[in-house]
Every structure is written in C-alpha cells, then in structure tokens.
Amino acid sequence: MNRHLKRWYATTPQRPSRSARFRRSTTSVVAAVLLMTLTTLATACSSSKPDTRAALPHRPPPPAAATDLGKGPLVPAHGALLGHYYGAGTMAETDARIGRKPAVHLTYYNWADDWAGSSTTRADFTDGRIPLINWEPFGVDFDDIISGDLDTTIRQRADGAKAIGKQFFLDFAAEMNEEEGWGGHDPAKYIAAYRHIHDIFVARGATNVVWAWCPNVTDSPDAPSALAYYPGDRYVDWTGVDGYNWGTSDPDFTWLSFGDLFADIYGKLAQKGKPIIIGEMGSDEVGGGKVAWIDGVIPTLKTKFPLIKALVWFDIDKERHWKINSSASSLASYARMAKDPYLNP
C-alpha cells in the first residue's frame, strides 16, 4: 500500500491518501494473471500432450509442504492466524462486531518510537494477542544504519524486545519495493541495513523477535522487483505481502478476487519455503461484490495458498471502503470468515 508519509503511532492512525500509482498496481496484477492464462493456452495448442506445469513459472509447492512449517515461530499447527488493524472503532467494539478476538494486532511506529515499551504492546500480551509491529524508518538515511551511526536506537529497541520475553512479529521497512522506496530503491542498501539491525538484535539476545519481511503485492515501475530486496533465509522467519482489491470506482481499476490479487507474488514467496503473512489486506465494495470477495478467502487459502499462515485486515475507511462493516452484508461475511475453524487454530 502507498505509504506517502503514512505513520501510525500506538493509538492514533494518521494515514494520508494513497496516490494514483494503484492504477499501475492493479494493471500489473491483472497482466500477470492474463499472462499465465495465455501461456497455458499456448502450451495446450503446441503439443498433443501438454505439460500444464510449464505455464506456472512460480508454481507453489503442494499442500503437504505447508505441514512442514508447523514448527516455525508463531506458526499455527493448522489453518492460519487472523489479524486486525483497528481503525474503525475500539478493539472492544470491533471484536464485538466480529464475534471473536483476532490473534494478531497490527500497529505502526516511527523509527524513534519505543514500540517495545508502549502500553499498546503490553496490553496485547496481557490480552493474549500477538503484536505485529510495523517499524517505519521515516526520515532515516539507510547509510546511517549501515555505518552504525544509529546503533544506539537499534540497541535500545533490541533490549526492549528482549525484555518482552515473548515472541511477536516485527516488520521493518515494509513495502520497500513500492513508492516509499526505503533505502532509495537500492536492494543492496536495503538488505545491508536490514541485516545490520537483525544482527544487533540477535547479538543482544532478542531472539524472541519473529522477523516478517513484507513487500507490496506489486513493484514500482522501473524499480527492482520484490524478491531483489530479500535479506536472506537467515534473516527472515516469515515472508509476507501487503495487497488490496481497489474495486472499480475508478475506471482504470479492475476488480480482483483474493486469489487473483495474490497469485503471482504467492508463487514467488512460496519458493522460499517459509510461512507467509499477509501484513495488510482489504477490499472495496464497488465492482464485484465484497461479500463474495470475503467468502472466497478461506477456500482460496485451503486450495491455492496453503503457506499463508496469517492474514491481517486493514479495518478503516481510507480512499476505499476497507472497513469490515462497510455494509451489513460485508460485516456478516467477515464475521463468518472470522469464526471459521481454519482461522481459529
């Protein structure tokens, strides 16, 4: 999602509007789906015994592979964890609407914020929720991270994380492949900064941190693709992705199902063999039916995306009707999904 000086602190959302770059994002996802379809048709016409697997350059592993991930940090024994960003009411109000307490709570913090010591993080653990800390380095020169000039702050966050004593998700500098362009869209610089922070955390004993690495579902034009920023298997516990169905209220946008939206990036992430988290997701009401979109999430997870082990809904009206209660029927659909055994491992 377009961050554009997006900043959440522990209690107050402050996300400005997204830009028109999502015209390109939607087009990119649709193009990927069409390309896979055309490739399949071409293969079928060129051989009497087509190998349909050739049409899927990023063919995900079979569902059995997902069971191999059951022993990873915070990975549920079966199904997937449901997470929430609370931007459309208090936690108590929202949980009452859903009819349950989501397992994961997404919050956003600036570079200098003490997210480990915040009252929100402490309350999450008290309430039995897993924090998903999105740590955003606005105004930070990544060269200063790499050189060690910012080690004091990093050591403070590492010590705070260790003091928590429980596992939680940390998503540093998410959506690096899109408009925010952490590190100036320089994969080598991004990776070096990410590894430097990770190494300090490990050296100071903050091994309870579960590192989630979440690019955007699409890449900025003329910028490196998402996987170019991958820090490496030693540095990532969960791979991830953020993505939205923008509906058709803009004539340049195309309705995308949950499966269409994440199909291409899922295949690429699945090659890493790690659990996958959707760090941000949502759908508009206009263009195809939000109820059907939500109803399709769990069947798609089961049949196409078995490595997705957590998903987080971005519950707020910003630019589109992302709220779970954007309509009574959408809320009913979301509540059904939230109560499904697959999301209650």
Q: How far apart are CA 214 and CA 227, in angstroms?
A: 10
Q: What share of the chain is helix, strand, coil (3-state, %, to 5)?
A: 40, 20, 45
**Residues in CB range of 91: below 8 A, 6 or more apart:** 105
Write out the two tokens for 186.
Answer: 């320089």
pTM: 0.82
Query: What's the confidence (pLDDT) of residue 68?
Result: 54
DSSP string, 280-296: EEEE-STTT-HHHHHHT
Query: What's the confidence (pLDDT) of residue 47?
Result: 35
Write out the two tokens for 65.
Answer: 């592979």
Taking all residues of the chain, what is their mean pLDDT, rounded to a whole number?
A: 83
Does position 211 have pLDDT exceeding 80, yes or no?
A: yes
The listed range with the strongest mean pLDDT (100-104, 221-225, 318-322) is 100-104
CB 80, CB 345: distance < 8 Å? yes
Does position 45 have pLDDT exceeding 80, yes or no?
A: no
Query: What's the confidence (pLDDT) of residue 236?
Result: 97
> SS3 for 320?
strand
Give 27-39 pLDDT, tens digit per residue.
444 444 444 444 4
* Percent over 90 (pLDDT), the chain: 69
DSSP string, 215-263: -BSSPPTTS--GGGG---GGG-SEEEEEEEE-TTSSTT-----HHHHHH
Write out the two tokens for 66.
Answer: 């997902």
Average pLDDT over residues 295-304: 97
**Residues in CB range of 297: below 8 A, 6 or more apart:** 258, 311, 337
Give 238-276 pLDDT, tens digit per residue.
999 999 998 888 888 899 999 999 999 999 999 999 999
Tokens 């430097």 sit at which residue?
196
